[in-house]
Amino acid sequence: MNARTLKEKKKQGGIKGFKTTWPLYVMFLFPFVWFLIFSYIPMAGISMAFVDFIPGSGIPGFFTGEFVGFANFKRFYDSFFFWQIIRNTIVISLLDIAVNFFTPIILALMFNEIISKVFRRIAQSITYLPKFISMVIIVSIYKEFLSLSDGVINNFIAALGGQRIYFLAEPKYFWIIFTLMNTWATIGWSSIIYLSAISGVNPELYEACRIDGGGRFRMIWNITLPGIRNTIIIMLILRMGTILSVGLEPILLLSNVNLYSTAEVLSLHVYNIGILRFDYSYAAAVGLIQSFIGLIMVIITNFIAKRVADFGLW
């Protein structure tokens, strides 16, 4: 078979293959256009971090405004609240990783051990429920629990003879309050991916372990956890990439001026400066710092995972 004939056959095979797989390309087109419009084209606005952009002076694009270099970055670094904001963001994020990253794994393991299918479905539905409730409602419920006058927590403290505590006015309580609320709101939904990974573990391994005399805890430790190890590593790498990305909505709804010493994080600072004060260039600079550090954390975490567990995203 000469080279010309082989080339013609490859061309015919490519056309024939496209005729049979064109619906897949059409399905791919929609998410591609979505990401292009809402994720990639807006990246032109990054240039605002390096210019003195004035609202109304034009469409934010490539250097719309007077070029100021790294002045906006220096301004953030020299600000009085720089280290406080960085500290709050890192501490809240690390607490969230320490609690909210591992609790969904534990919950998924518990669901997997429930024998009754009816009880398991009911328990799963209850834990998934906060995902389908507005964050405004979740925070409102949480505030009622912490209410000074008739909150469940303070009523319990008063019943024990203690002094009622105004939790939402004491900065020292905010970190743990936010972490527990975020865990309650996301633990059920976050456990779904681990339940899916557990369902992919070979059932014959459990049977072999049972024949060897292994109990439930031994099966979890020696079979289930190693079986979902790669999923855990991937989720940890992705989570470390958002170490400086504490959600704005729950922070904004739960915090107040009295709590800013421990509640003001990067996302809230960007909101206050960029949206409320219309200082878009400064807000873009802070957001770019946040994204850059997230990228560095992903690279570092992936490198460590490759060295320790011989598995990573790339």
The pTM score is 0.80
The residue ranges of every structural domain in the chain are: 1-69, 75-308
Helix residue ranges, H only, the chain: 3-35, 71-78, 82-96, 103-113, 117-128, 135-145, 152-159, 174-199, 203-211, 216-219, 225-227, 229-240, 248-254, 260-263, 266-270, 280-308
Identify residue 88 by its one-letter amino acid code: N
Residues 90-114 have a mean pLDDT of: 89
- Taking each helix axis from N to C end, the angle separating 280-308 and 229-240, rounded to the nearest 10 degrees, works out to 150
Instruction: Kindly report which listed range (29-33, 41-45, 98-102, 309-313) carries the lowest average pLDDT score.
Output: 309-313
Residue pLDDT, tens place only, 137-192: 888 888 888 888 888 888 888 888 888 888 888 888 899 999 988 888 888 888 98
Give the number of other CB atoms < 10 A from CB of residue 263: 22
CATH architecture classification, 75-308: Orthogonal Bundle (1.10)
pLDDT reported for residue 6? 47
State residue 33's pLDDT score.
92
